[in-house]
Chains A and B, each alone.
Chain A
Amino acid sequence: LGGSALQYHLNFNLIWKNFDKLAWGLLLSIELAVIAIAIGGMIGLGLAVIYTGGNKVTRSLITAYVEFVRNVPLLLLIYLVFYGIPSAGGFAYGPVESFVATLALYSGAYLVEIFRSGLDAVPKGAIDAGKAIGLTPWQRLTAVRLPIMLRIVLPALSNALISLFKDTSLASVIAVPELTYGANWIKTNTFRAVEVWMVVAPIYLLTGWIILATLRQLERTLLRGLRR
């Protein structure tokens, strides 16, 4: 161990030179997370509504989907969708489409649970009030249950988006040119592995914090005057 002097000299020049790879990568990471939560949100919302009003068979099918996705590593799901399914079906799709589909199905499974517990938390009095003024079941859903549920789950949705933003780092394994892929590209082409991760880790961290702070502010605006 001897001296404490580092033998490695940090040099960030090559990172800044290739910074466009990271900037475009970050943009794609955010896009992937937003598209995935948009599609996953529709899957989750639809299945949560079906679940709460469904029979035994539909409930078991939804539970099977949720449990499968939640108990298998995301990395494996990404490989399964990108390599596994096309090999058996004799067709192919691009890495970006494949990853978006995977992340949407993945987030869908988590969002079903969020929406379902949100629907359960809608006060019974509000639903009864809807019945009392003669709303049809569909009207009670769209005018009473869903708006109240969305307010309840809003913070959980923000957390889900941040979580998905971090999960997009796995898209690099099937060569989707997002932030981690850009970092790996710079590492392979410049051998500046230490420097690139010293830059990329804070980029993820700060972006996640900025997105979260923005969403919390948005929540406050949306919920203004609605707190009991």
Chain B
Amino acid sequence: MTLWTYLANTMPFLWQGLAMTLFVSGLVVVLSLVTGVLVGVAFAYGPWWLRWPLRAFSDIMRGTPLLVVIFTFYYLLPMVQINLQPLPAVVLALALFKTAQVGEIARGAVQSIPHGQTDAAKAIGLKFAGQLRYVILPQAVRRFLPPWINSVTDAVKGSSLISLVGIVDLMLAAQQVIGRTYNPLPIYLLAAAIYFAINYSLSVTSRRLEARYAYIRE
């Protein structure tokens, strides 16, 4: 069997794993976008009783290895009578971990808008919601997008850890193929190439957007 037929025969297994990788990272990215932006806005404008618990949450999440967060959720949730299947449990762990990251990006983006903008919005009679909607967020989104897209690569890479609780993603699919063929190097390189293709296109998009929005940096 030549190398190419070996890899070609492997592809159907890897596709299934890849579908799981894309599904999990996509879900995590969408969920954490919503929660992360809310957390970021709360960091910037929220009252202390909202900011302090969120600060604790964010620091704990960002200070703990993702693998440990996944294992902790995986084993802790059943104890508090939340009986989830492995997949929802790890998606929850990944999404909360990502929420902390996105929250910090969103906070940075919102706080980078000069105070004069808020004052000007107040001066033309906008209420808080209007200030956010028409003045702050349209500007903040340009500072949010490049680092956020870059952080999506972290979600894709981080999703590989779900293989360690037995969910068949691209990583585990590659491992399973290797377990049968005992020829690891080509399969690992193929899996690496697939991860690379996804993440590199995201990094390039992020860099392009950053260059395009460079004009707003004073």
Contact = CB atoms under 8 A, between A and B. Distances in A.
A23 B63 CA distance: 19
A197 B76 contact: yes
A167 interface: yes
A198 interface: yes
B57 to A, nearest CB: 12
Nearest to B69: A201
B23 to A, nearest CB: 16
Interface string A173-202: 100000010010001000001100110110
Nearest to A9: B79
Interface stretch (B28-36, B42-50, B195-203): B195-203
B161 A75 contact: yes
Interface residues of A, number: 40
Interface in A94-121: none
Given A6-B80, A87-B184, A205-B60, A74 B72 contact: no
Given A169-B68, A180-B68, A75 B163 contact: yes
A180 B153 contact: no
A83 B178 contact: yes
B189 A71 contact: no
B81 interface: yes
Contact of B72 (A1, A201, A208): A201
Given A87-B183, A87-B185, A208 B63 contact: yes
Contacts of A73: 156-158, 160, 171, 195
Contacts of A187: 75
B65 interface: yes
Interface string A1-41: 10000111000000000000000000000000000000000
A32 B80 CA distance: 35
A27 to B, nearest CB: 16
Contact of A84 (B63, B64, B185, B199): B185
B128 interface: no
A194 B174 CA distance: 30
Nearest to B159: A73
Nearest to A212: B63
B164 interface: yes
A200 B158 CA distance: 20
Given A6-B80, A71-B196, A76-B191, A88 B185 contact: yes
Interface in A136-187: 166-167, 169-170, 172-173, 180, 183, 187
Nearest to B61: A205
Interface of A: 1, 6-8, 67-68, 70-77, 79-80, 83-85, 87-88, 166-167, 169-170, 172-173, 180, 183, 187, 193-194, 197-198, 200-201, 204-205, 208-209
12 contacts: A68-B196, A70-B203, A71-B199, A72-B157, A76-B160, A76-B192, A83-B184, A166-B63, A183-B71, A197-B68, A198-B72, A201-B64
Given A84-B185, A205-B64, 10 more contacts: A68-B196, A71-B196, A72-B192, A76-B188, A80-B185, A87-B184, A167-B65, A169-B65, A187-B75, A193-B75
